[in-house]
Amino acid sequence: MKRTTFVLWAVLIICAGFFVVMRKHAKEEPALVVGTNETVNVSSSVPPGVIRAGLQQPSVPGHRMAMRKEASQGRNTGGRKPLPKQSGTDAIPNEFVFSFRNEADRSAFIKAAKSHGVEIIDTMGLGFSVLVRVKRPEDLQEVLAESPEPVQNSSNYFVLSPEIPKKDPMKPQGTYIPFGSQSLKWLGVKADNGAWGKGVWVAVLDNGVSPHPALREERVGRVDLINEAVPFSELPEYAGHANAVASLIAGNSPNSQGIAPETTILSVKVLSAEGVGDSFTLAKGIVESVDRGARVITMALGTYGDSFVLKNAVDYAIGKGVVLVAATGNDAVDGVSYPARYEGVVAVSAIDANSQHPYFANRGKEVTISAPGIGVTAAWLDRDYVGFSGTSAAVPFVSGAISALLSENPGMTGSEAVDILLRYADDAGAPGRDDIYGNGILDVRRVTERNQKGIYDVAAGDIYIPANQNDK
């Protein structure tokens, strides 16, 4: 017998001598200035006409850009051309990563590699790792035959800052309610958050934070692992991505106020100006961030290649007590991208101002939490601001909330901060944790009021009807 299941969470109001603050449910119509009829048609991470006119798409130096632009096969990357295929999704042709037991073994491998014309691109101390490029596969086989056996090996993989695809095979493209400049109010961030983030370093692994009025230069440190030189006049539209992410964490402008404005940003450039990088460089960026004292690492980027060196870097950071926050991806698929897919990483999905899950945000069992990700006002290049959309926009809200908790609670660990965010997230979608919203929607007000005397946290859920009528 078919049965439709209804799940209703009751609201309990305790009135006898207590002051009870009712929390709005995330599915309620938001109190936003944007207007009841204002929507945003999501087909680009940066709305047309917002970017300053005249920016040209450059010929970004580097073999990875050339390979990517020449490719005609690979996954959908939105407005950018598909990636090439090798031994796995997102694999960079002819690039391989090896790790060794010790420095002596790695040195012997490097010596043999050079004698056979194998190019040494980069090395990393973690795992005595080395990244190589080969012209002929047989050259690499000869090197491996002459040198110590590696402990681990894999392809090197492309890493991209996510773009929004043109369409979703599972759901038509729709319209969504943007947050505009009201995201902090929507999240319940108090007006007196000026000290939030003080003393906390948050690393932004992206395409490089550049000077902007929304960001105080004295609170931005920079590490460049890409070393590309593109004149400002030739920067691509995507070059403001890191600024947008950083401004949502630590912005100090009326146009873009960060959730934790006293946070110190460590900008680690692991992507080109156009938002293209690789898993080896991302792994180096994670290690660099940890070693420089970052307590939170923000990664609005991803890949579908499972790289051992990236996983090792993630484990290294977690072992040092550092929180890693990453985007689930904007490919409209059932499957979270790496590094968000790794255990221990906070995988962030997006919502609009009506708590809708946008069609493009990836779904999966690894989704941890959701946060604002549609039409969020953020800094961009020079003195510009944009309506920032995507899981990239959602990630910095979670990183900023963790920074705020760490600064306001000396002695709190990163994992404790994450547990608090998840415990006080607003449930959405199917009751409990689900593959769309994760543990729920970020709710800063509930977090900040959790220990306030006289305030009792109660919540209401909406009626949930399973899509499968046979669900019981």
392 is catalytic: yes
Question: The tokens of 147 are what?
Answer: 């040198």
Query: Dihedral, CA atoms, 274, 376, 418, 208, nearest 10 degrees?
Result: 30
Q: Given 129, 392, 399, 407, which residue is catalytic?
A: 392
> Alpha-carbon distance 358 to 354, whole Å?
10
- Which H helix or E strand runs over 444? helix 444-448
Q: Given 105, 129, 161, 241, which residue is catalytic?
A: 241
User: What is the three-class DSSP state of 164?
Assistant: coil
Q: Which amino acid is at 249?
A: I
Q: Given 129, 147, 155, 206, which residue is catalytic?
A: 206
Question: Do the beta carbons of residue 138 and residue 165 sit within 8 Å?
Answer: no
Whose CA is closest to 79, among 88, 69, 92? 69
- Backbone dihedral region of 169: left (phi > 0), alpha (psi from -120 to 50 degrees) or beta? alpha
Whole-angstrom CA distances from 317 to 137, 244, 322, 349 are 34, 24, 5, 22
Question: Do the beta carbons of residue 163 and residue 45 sit within 8 Å?
Answer: yes
Quick one: 460 exposed, middle or buried, by C-beta within 10 A (0-12, 13-18, 19+)?
middle
> Alpha-carbon distance 47 to 386, whole Å?
7
Length of the chain: 472
- Residues with a catalytic annotation lie at 206, 241, 392
